[in-house]
Chain A
Amino acid sequence: MLVIRPVRPADLPSLERLAGSATPRLTNLPAHRDRLEERIARSQRAFAGDIDAPGDEHYIFVLEDLERGEVAGTATIRAQAGVREAYYTYRQETLIHASQQLDVRREVPTLALSHEVSDATLLCALSLDARYKGTSAESLLRRARLMFISQYPERFADLLAMAFPGYLDGQGESPFWNSVGRHFFVRDYQEINYFAGVRSKSFVAEVMPQFPLYLALLTPQARAAIGREHPDHESAMNEMLAEGFLRSRHVDIFDAGPVIKGERERLASFRRAAWHPVRIRPAHALPDAEPAMIANQRLADFRCVVARYALSPTGQLMLSPEHAELLGVEEGRAVLAAPLALPGADADEPGYDEGEL
């Protein structure tokens, strides 16, 4: 049985292991014990706090495999992407250079530093043991955060954002970094990424070139990497696009990985999430039904599992005693449920954020 719950201090070694095994390494999940320990403490304060507006809270969740007795994954919500410091992205822009004299009109693409994503709530730092990849556990880990946000909307922004790891070549090098950042830092991508995770990404961003970059002057490999997610994250990207996130004009300043954005009201899990009173039935007596994410409504003891979305004729959600215990709910208490399957999305035609067009 798999369950999502808030991180605990005892999870530190697991978190360290997951940070080390993330591919590629994540800025928001540095394999650094002291930093992770601080983050766990910070997360505990966030879950325990009386909060009525998003601030610099981090909510770290883990995926626990109860049979194996181990933590198999982790994911984080940053209530606000940039609070004390700005959250930097490159925004893809197009300038028109037109000459009446020559009767020409040229589109000149640029990348301009932006702080626009700073106010969004950021879903980040997801790492999952390889053996769970492609299972419902992966979707649960990724989207249980939406179940949490749905219950505590005052703690988060209306706009959610996710930065996907960018394209790296076979040697683990970022062609974008090699064409852009390296000129200014003389350090390789992995090194700067680790530094940003352990210290601060805005320390780095403040030293990035402040004027817009003309794409024409970047290497073809760097241009090709702009807005392209790491190959290992393609399915995750498709899932979030199906969820209702949209590709944006923003990309990561280090590796040009895509930033996607979603308005809460437009995300499938928010729109379809529904409250149901619980009725407990033996597992063998539960009717067959599509899988759903089921979450309790206990902030610091938040739990979310995948179970069958089996409703009684009167709208009660039928749970096995094991699941009820896992969620810490008795018969008659309400739980939040949303189907695990997403409405079919045409991944070939990802939409753009209307607000940006």
Chain B
Amino acid sequence: MRMRPIVETDIDELQALARETGVGFTSLPDNREFLAARIASTVSAFEERTPVDQRLYFFVLEDEETGRLAGCCAIEGQVGRETPFYHYRLGTLAHSSVQLDLHRTIDTLFLSSDHTGDAEVASLFLRPEYRGGDHRHQRNGALLSMMRWLFMAEFRDRFPEKVLAEMRGVFDERGRSPFWECLGSHFFPLDFDEADKLTGLGQKSFIGELMPKFPIYTPFLSEAARACIGEVHEHTRPALAMLKKQGLRWEGYIDIFDGGPTVEAYIDDVRGVRLSRRCRVEVKAGALEASPRPRWLAATTGMAGFRAAWLGRGPDEHGVVTLDEGEARRLEVASGDTLRILDTEEEA
């Protein structure tokens, strides 16, 4: 299994992935034209033909044995540059009066575009057949999630100060968002799916036009809607846990539609960015000892032909990492090349 930038010929497989993602997965709509544009944008970004603030880096997880795509993930160079990027910020207002012997704090949602200009990690999807069960030992989900930190560390000057990730919010058993039902539905003449779809397609101007501009006092929301604020869909919990382990934190920003949390960090503080380092490659023929569970994550250091994969072992005390021929082939490196390596189990 290896990660590589998406290419034009992946379009059919990508659309198949998009079809599998479902509601609430805004960034991967089942729309061929849109997906083709995403691919074109990625190709241009990896060729460094696009300005850094408009780049999309879209990666796919490739099953070398079958040639199938097992999953995908992306990095947006900067959000909110071409279309507005909205959140609600959960804030606190004190309502206090000495005369009334009253001191209460009221949670309030403020419409915000505070994250304009931040990088975003997004669109992470792993096909069910590559998760859990027999595949648990492969750590495909971790590969998808963490390889982005190596990419950002390697090309640090292409990214801004901060990074964020929007997590999918809570939906009930009928696939409805209680947060949307209580808030968004009053202001948008659409159902959640339609609104979500337009957002996914980047057609977001309607949000600014129709969304309430004044803060929302959360006591006016239903209990079910309040319970969604900053909560993730149960399927999203492992992904959130992985990001939190990297140092991303919830700072009170939520999705304006489903109330799901947005987690964020300064890129330089992200564990994978901070702890990954460059190593010299030595390729050895024959079988090499390998850890039973993937631990060392490797990424190449060139923008063009970028690859990432698990390695069976880490670097020695001289900073040299030894690869077997299969690993070298997977990453398309030879002795003397450089790899960026992250020990994913090292204590921060």
Q: Footprint of B on A, CB under 8 Å? A: 97-102, 104, 106, 108, 110, 179, 183-186, 195, 199-200, 203-204, 206-207, 209, 211-214, 216-218
Known: A100-B209, A207-B102, A214-B212. 16 other contacts (CB 8 A): A97-B187, A97-B211, A99-B206, A100-B205, A101-B203, A101-B209, A102-B210, A184-B219, A185-B104, A203-B99, A207-B97, A209-B217, A212-B214, A214-B214, A214-B216, A217-B186
Q: With A102-B190, A204-B100 in contact, do A183 and B220 touch (Cβ < 8 Å)? A: yes
Chain A hits for B288, CB < 8 A: none
A206, B203: Cβ atoms closer than 8 Å? no
Shortest Cβ distance from residue A101 to the other chain B in the assembled complex, whole angstroms: 5
B67 CB-CB contact with A under 8 Å: no
Chain A hits for B190, CB < 8 A: 102
Shortest Cβ distance from residue A152 to the other chain B in the assembled complex, whole angstroms: 34
A207, B96: Cβ atoms closer than 8 Å? yes
Q: Footprint of A on B, CB under 8 Å? A: 95-97, 99-100, 102, 104, 106, 108, 182-183, 186-187, 189-190, 198, 203, 205-206, 209-212, 214-217, 219-221
A97, B210: Cβ atoms closer than 8 Å? yes
A213, B96: Cβ atoms closer than 8 Å? no
Chain B hits for A98, CB < 8 A: 209
- Give Cα A211–Cα B212 distance, bound, in whole angstroms: 12
- Give Cα A216–Cα B210 distance, bound, in whole angstroms: 13
Chain A hits for B183, CB < 8 A: 217
- Give Cα A108–Cα B106 distance, bound, in whole angstroms: 23
- Give Cα A102–Cα B198 distance, bound, in whole angstroms: 10
Shortest Cβ distance from residue A68 to the other chain B in the assembled complex, whole angstroms: 40
Chain B hits for A214, CB < 8 A: 186, 212, 214, 216, 220
- Give Cα A101–Cα B29 distance, bound, in whole angstroms: 19
Interface of A is mostly: mixed
Chain B hits for A186, CB < 8 A: 104
Instruction: With CB as the reference atom, state the residue of chain A lying closest to B204.
Output: A101
- Give Cα A212–Cα B213 distance, bound, in whole angstroms: 10
A207, B215: Cβ atoms closer than 8 Å? no
Shortest Cβ distance from residue A186 to the other chain B in the assembled complex, whole angstroms: 7
- Give Cα A250–Cα B211 distance, bound, in whole angstroms: 25
Chain A hits for B219, CB < 8 A: 183-184
A185, B100: Cβ atoms closer than 8 Å? yes
A217, B210: Cβ atoms closer than 8 Å? no
Chain B hits for A195, CB < 8 A: 100
- Give Cα A100–Cα B207 distance, bound, in whole angstroms: 11
Number of CB contacts from chain A to chain B under 8 A: 80
Instruction: With CB as the reference atom, state the residue of chain A lying closest to B182.
Output: A217
B209, A184: Cβ atoms closer than 8 Å? no
- Give Cα A9–Cα B183 distance, bound, in whole angstroms: 55
Chain B hits for A218, CB < 8 A: 220
Shortest Cβ distance from residue A204 to the other chain B in the assembled complex, whole angstroms: 7
Interface of B is mostly: mixed
Chain A hits for B214, CB < 8 A: 110, 211-212, 214
Chain B hits for A101, CB < 8 A: 198, 203, 205-206, 209
- Give Cα A104–Cα B206 distance, bound, in whole angstroms: 10
Chain A hits for B212, CB < 8 A: 108, 214
Chain B hits for A104, CB < 8 A: 189, 210
B189, A216: Cβ atoms closer than 8 Å? no
- Give Cα A25–Cα B50 distance, bound, in whole angstroms: 70
- Give Cα A104–Cα B190 distance, bound, in whole angstroms: 10
A99, B99: Cβ atoms closer than 8 Å? no
Shortest Cβ distance from residue B189 to the other chain A in the assembled complex, whole angstroms: 5
A184, B104: Cβ atoms closer than 8 Å? yes
Residue among A199, A209, A212 with most chain B CB within 10 A: A209
Chain A hits for B216, CB < 8 A: 214, 217
- Give Cα A217–Cα B106 distance, bound, in whole angstroms: 16
The 9 closest A-B pairs by CB, nearest first: A183-B219, A216-B186, A217-B220, A99-B209, A99-B206, A203-B99, A101-B206, A97-B210, A211-B214
- Give Cα A214–Cα B211 distance, bound, in whole angstroms: 11
Instruction: With CB as the reference atom, state the residue of chain B lying closest to A98.
Output: B209
Chain B hits for A212, CB < 8 A: 214
- Give Cα A218–Cα B222 distance, bound, in whole angstroms: 10
- Give Cα A307–Cα B164 distance, bound, in whole angstroms: 80
A184, B95: Cβ atoms closer than 8 Å? yes
Q: With A106-B210, A207-B100 in contact, do A217 and B221 touch (Cβ < 8 Å)? A: yes
B97, A211: Cβ atoms closer than 8 Å? no
- Give Cα A214–Cα B215 distance, bound, in whole angstroms: 10
Chain B hits for A203, CB < 8 A: 97, 99-100
- Give Cα A199–Cα B102 distance, bound, in whole angstroms: 14
Which residue of the partner chain, among A97, A185, A217, contacts B102 with CB atoms under 8 Å?
Answer: A185
Chain A hits for B205, CB < 8 A: 99-101
Chain B hits for A99, CB < 8 A: 205-206, 209-210
A211, B215: Cβ atoms closer than 8 Å? yes
- Give Cα A101–Cα B95 distance, bound, in whole angstroms: 39
17 A-B pairs within 8 Å (CB atoms) are namely A97-B187, A99-B210, A101-B198, A101-B203, A101-B209, A183-B106, A183-B219, A184-B106, A185-B100, A186-B104, A204-B100, A206-B97, A209-B95, A214-B220, A217-B186, A217-B216, A217-B221
Shortest Cβ distance from residue B30 to the other chain A in the assembled complex, whole angstroms: 21
Chain A hits for B95, CB < 8 A: 184, 207, 209
Chain A hits for B221, CB < 8 A: 217
Shortest Cβ distance from residue A308 to the other chain B in the assembled complex, whole angstroms: 51
Instruction: With CB as the reference atom, state the residue of chain B lying closest to A180.
Output: B220
Chain A hits for B220, CB < 8 A: 179, 183, 213-214, 217-218
Chain A hits for B217, CB < 8 A: 183, 209, 211, 213
Shortest Cβ distance from residue B273 to the other chain A in the assembled complex, whole angstroms: 37
Shortest Cβ distance from residue A111 to the other chain B in the assembled complex, whole angstroms: 11
Which residue of the partner chain, among B102, B108, B187, B215, contacts A106 with CB atoms under 8 Å?
Answer: B187
Instruction: With CB as the reference atom, state the residue of chain B lying closest to A209.
Output: B217
Residue among B102, B209, B219 with most chain A CB within 10 A: B209
Chain A hits for B96, CB < 8 A: 207
Instruction: With CB as the reference atom, state the residue of chain A lying closest to B217.
Output: A209
Chain B hits for A204, CB < 8 A: 97, 100
Chain A hits for B97, CB < 8 A: 203-204, 206-207
Shortest Cβ distance from residue A193 to the other chain B in the assembled complex, whole angstroms: 13
Which residue of the partner chain, among B99, B106, B108, B206, contacts A200 with CB atoms under 8 Å?
Answer: B99
Shortest Cβ distance from residue B166 to the other chain A in the assembled complex, whole angstroms: 21
- Give Cα A287–Cα B99 distance, bound, in whole angstroms: 59
Chain A hits for B198, CB < 8 A: 101
